[in-house]
Structure 1
């Protein structure tokens, strides 16, 4: 096999290598009569990519008799990617690229003929392998989308680079893309992004059934970047969850296909967005805080009898008792006298009502007098006494001495 790539087409060939490098760690070179095919598949066999360059794409493309039958070589992706890593430099300096597979050797020779007569020759070892091809009939897919690569790229660019999977939803009214969340414990640290497009935004919109599929984003970025550089539309063929999704690009001189596996219905049924639950609200107590403890004074009085008093470093008394933890849910129990009308909020929880009482008790020095007037003899335990009382107590002790 011997082919010659001219001028700007070298950059296009390098773009295809970049797109396939997002899929797998190995690159298959498959010279055929209808053109040179570049293929790759990931280790999990869940992503497959193929770029087929027709003979018209090359300035020269020829096959020997042996090439038509046996040559199917597999090379390491990193070796080929290192040759086409800097596409800007290639576009500026490389005039021709020769790719050949000499029959008696097990090497692929790639030559760059640069400006000023500079020639770079690279020999890559390859391993003979069987043909690699994904069997997927796109004409059986009930849903088909076709849109400019720039439109899909503008949607994907809003997702972070570390985003692994996205969910594509399709209804008669809109097409949505959102990041997928598997329901792990780190969902609170994640930013949820969802974008939707009207069917009129697409060049072709065919819907056979409502779909909600989840697939990897990394492989999709590769073919979108390639199609956007060539200003080509991207076609998307898919069906129900669990069936593959196919992204394809067609041109006169090349064809590109990326097939991705999707999550099954049970795996993708988890919510991609957090369910809207009423946010906990802090109760706005309309009555004085002392009213919260009405009807429960005997509970706190009995509980305080078993408490242990510990002297702190500021000569104040700290009440330590594990029984208080069990008493917190009982304070403000809806079955008791402390109902929502006393606190002014129907969403007040027992713990929040207790915190409200403790905060108001610690901040208001006048509450002691109000509580005594209202007959609330036993009060909620205060975890920190007033600093003014401590100072007054110290001054009285100095006067007595």
Structure 2
């Protein structure tokens, strides 16, 4: 397929690519008998956009169809945007654009013929081919409306830039557009910003609503699509039915090109109801008060306790093996535990405070273990004869 876009129409082609780039990451070029189609789909597969440029839009359009199968030419969107990066510069410098699709070599050749005999050539390879197409029938929809793109753009300015979804409430006598807030807890709903925009019927170019519909759809894709229509002062038409069925936005320009945006909607009947919040009195009425904690500690099995009125009971210690306690060990325990031990190994019932660290440093020898010479064994005794007198020497 080979086609040549004249200078006045290059700007329209470049703006269409920029509009598609805000929706999807991949660009499909599909040559057909009735013109060249540019398509894309968003990452969540909930929005599909298609631009169809009729043969009258081109100065030269040669499909060169060799088989009944339509070639799937998919390229990276960023590379297409890089070719038509600046729309103002393209409108000022480019005199013609030549696009040639070669399925045998799996590549697209784009030439920009600029002023002063300057030609820019680009070769973009194909990605893995697949088919993307949206199936919808607008004749079965019961609701239809037409609105000016500039009016719709002023409506979008009332919402936050990061608003993802909006809910359209269309009735025979009134039209409302409000931001969609997902089911959250009561605290989050109170702090959420709620925006409702009401329009009168005379503000529409045509308004045919047979039944009231609540339709929730994405706002980001519609902003991009409406931006293209606003740039060329084109009206926007919407065809829809009820929530859960697709909504179709369309535009056209004198038989030269046409575009459609198909978006999935949320079914209002499938939305989950918020969880009711019970009052604190009702919740507490079914809960028994916890038992009061006892102020006295129960003795463990095998232990005895002496209870005195007004005194917190203290568990008695297990009896110690007196045979294993030497005077050195008892002296060390008296310093570590703060208790007073007598020579027989009986523990006094009145504890005393441990000695201060300063006393241990100054009177270090006082806290050493007592030395008992009778406990020394014979092996440790040194046997030596008495020294001779000086007179004998």
- TM class, shorter-length: 0.5 to 0.7
Unaligned runs of 5+ in 1: 272-401
Distance 1:103 1:166, change over 3 A: closer
Query: How big is the shift at 1:127?
Result: 3.0
Once the two structures are TM-superposed, the CA of residue 45 in structure 1 deviates from its matched residue by 1.8
Q: What is the DSSP-based 3-state SS (H/G/I as helix, E as strand, rest coil) of the residue aligned with 2:159?
A: coil
State the Cα distance separating 1:41 from its structure 2 match: 1.2
**1: CA distance between counterparts of 2:105 and 2:122?**
14
Q: Are the counterparts in 1 of residues 109 and 124 from structure 2 also a CA contact under 8 Å?
A: yes
Aligned length: 272
| CA displacement at 1:270 relative to structure 2 | 6.6
Asked if the contact 2:30/2:70 (under 8 Å) is kept, the reply is: no
Q: Contact conserved, 1:241 with 1:268, CA < 8 A, in 2?
A: no
Q: Match for residue 156 of structure 1?
A: 156
Corresponding position of 1:235: 237
- Offset, 1:190: 3.5
**How far has the Cα of 1:169 moved from its partner?**
0.5
Cα distance in structure 1, aligned partners of 2:147 and 2:103: 43
- TM-score, normalisation: structure 2: 0.66
CA displacement 1:53-96 (0-9 Å, x = unmatched) = 00000111101132763422111111112222321111111111
2:255 is the alignment partner of 1:257: no
Residue equivalent to 1:79: 79
Larger Rg, first or second structure (1 or 2):
2
The answer on whether the counterparts of 2:172 and 2:210 sit within 8 Å (CA) in structure 1 is: no
User: Matches of residues 2-401 of structure 1 in structure 2 within 5 Å?
Assistant: 2-66=2-66, 69-127=69-127, 129-184=129-184, 186-251=188-253, 252-267=255-270
Displacement of 1:234 after TM fit?
A: 0.8
Is the alpha carbon distance of 1:27 and 1:270 closer, same or farther for their aligned partners in structure 2, counting shifts above 3 Å?
farther
* 1:126-174 alpha-carbon deviations (Å, 9 max, x no partner): 1363442111111111111111111111111221211100111111221
Shift of 1:267: 4.9
Structure 1 CA distance for aligned equivalents of residues 122 and 147 of structure 2? 39
Counterpart CA distance in 2 for 1:210 and 1:22 is 31
SS in 1 for 2:78: helix
Cα separation, 1, equivalents of 2:61 and 2:128: 21
Structure 1-normalised TM-score? 0.64
Which sections of structure 2, spanning at least 5 residues, go unmatched?
Answer: 275-393
Classify 1:235/1:67 alpha carbon distance in 2 versus 1 (closer, same or farther; 3 Å): farther
Q: Aligned partners of 1:133, 1:250: CA distance in 2, in Å?
A: 19
Contact residue 47 and residue 219 of structure 1 kept, 8 A: yes
- Does the 8 Å contact 2:166/2:217 carry over to 1? yes
Matched residue, 1:283: none
Classify 1:199/1:100 alpha carbon distance in 2 versus 1 (closer, same or farther; 3 Å). Answer: same
| In 2: Cα distance, 1:121 partner to 1:218 partner | 33
RMSD of aligned C-alpha atoms? Answer: 2.0
Alpha-carbon contact 1:164-1:218 (below 8 Å) kept: yes
- Give the whole-Å Cα distance in 2 for the aligned partners of 1:192 and 1:61: 50
1:103 positional shift: 4.8
**For 1:68 and 1:231, how far apart are their aligned partners in 2?**
38
Shift of 1:265: 1.4
Cα displacement (A) at 1:16 = 1.2
| Maintained 8 Å contact 1:112/1:119 | yes
Shift of 1:188: 4.3
SS of residue matched to 1:212: strand
Q: Report deviation, 1:47.
A: 0.8
Q: Partners of 1:67 and 1:156 in 2: how far apart?
A: 45
